[in-house]
Structure 1
Amino acid sequence: MKTPETYDDPGPLPRISAPQMPEHLPANSCSGSGRRLHPDVQMQVYAHRSATSSITVPAVAEPMLVLVLSGGARVQERAAGEDWSTSEVVADDFFLTMTHEPYEMQWQTHGGHEFRVVHLYLSQRLLDMAAASVWAGKSKNLRLLDVSGAKDPQVAQLVRLLYQELVEGREPNTLYIDGIAQALAVHLVRHYRDDQVGPKYRTALPAYRLHRVLKRMDRSLASAFSLSALAAEAGLSEFYFSRLFRQATGCSPSQYFIQLRLAKARELLSSTPLSIIEVALEVGYESPGHFAQVFRRHTGMTPREYRR
């Protein structure tokens, strides 16, 4: 299987269709597929154990919503070259993605037990119909936010109703499925619309969000790096934030944070009488040895040599 680092083309990559997804997830994890009674709705059910290694999830052609049916897990995600983002998920938590890029995932189930999830794929046509009904037809090719490990009782209820009808029902009713799928699509476009994208896809973190994040970084140089706090500042999931931050700055959030710390350290070393230990503490390094190691790796000299 390819790793994310093999995807070097900056343009849009080929996306798989829903029926191809089981080929890219752990073998034998797909425990059943719902009957496709509507061209806009597809469903798959997976029973997962802890993943012994990370897997690469391809970009999907259809908007994909994943709901945890039972059990729980610690799920980690990252795009190529990014930091891992972590979500602790239990029953009725959900993920939402419309990504154009593959991403990497790994998970550890709670207590080593199985956890079951359902993948629901809604067509772009259905989302555009919902958007037209909400915004008078002004949202063609609407995009949704990427969401990781969120809670929304209405999303959980509607997906479970579709699951009961598509997977557990003996004689699924097309009209019933249509109504639930349309209600879910309207809810998603009302509450999870991505206002910052055009008709294709977003290319970088919006300037006003990036400014807020950089100010937050600058205020917290003496504190431990927190991807979750920065993502919350931007109003995005950790996974989505990491990807957009790299597109905007050319490096990951953690790499950028280290650069800010070292810039502040160089300023303090050259313009203040603070000791090297005090400078290390000012920029968040409790160990002078670790500070010197990081400083030398990025500048080519030790803090003492730099001060001279």
Structure 2
Amino acid sequence: VEERVLGGEWEAAEVSAGDFFLTSSDEPYEMRWQTHGGDTFEVMHLYLGLPLIEQASRELLGEHVGPVRLRDVSGGRDGRVAFVMEQLRNELVLERSPSSLFARSLAQALVVHLVRSYIVDTQPGRRVNALQAYKLRKVTDAMNADLGAEFSLEKLARLAELSEYHFSRMFKRATGLSPSQYFIRLRMVRARHLLLETRRSVIDVGLEVGYSSPSHFSQVFRREVGVTPSEFRGA
């Protein structure tokens, strides 16, 4: 199996039945494969929604955890992953009346395992000169409490008792994102939750997370999530 981001170099891996690939890409992504000796090749693709990953992250890592990222795995072997994928395949292909509840339960179990085993290490305490954990929580709590407000770097830096320059640098070292990027990610987390769990209009959801212009909300949502708010709700 060979894989790459568009325009990148092809990277190859030898795989056999039961191996898995774990990919989280912000760019278009390509794969191609060739079998040995003309053997048949069957692949199962499972797309895990961000809200599901965020739910597992909050349960395992705490309510104040920011956006997490899973490691890329190419041709890995993991007994739990193989077991859950086989159970999903049996339910969706072999059962006469597949259960969406059962399939979702399997997906939730898989996500919990992935977050436990394949999360990218972004613990603030392991980054040199990063924002201290208690200050990070204080700032992210303030962000979450007022996602409808205009972003204010000055206000957040004051909470952390730092200059705006030093706050921005230390926050990015702790989270991997600038304060404004992190704030937008939190807004999109809330927006996705409202779109899935409530019947509120897209305009109301946009207003809730600070976008008075529906077109601007749709533009930001599409950039961050990959689809428009209406497409996300209808998916």
Query: What is the TM-score normalised by the length of structure 2?
Result: 0.49
Greater Rg by CA: 1
Higher strand share: 1
Query: What is the TM-score normalised by the length of structure 1?
Result: 0.38
Higher helix share: 2
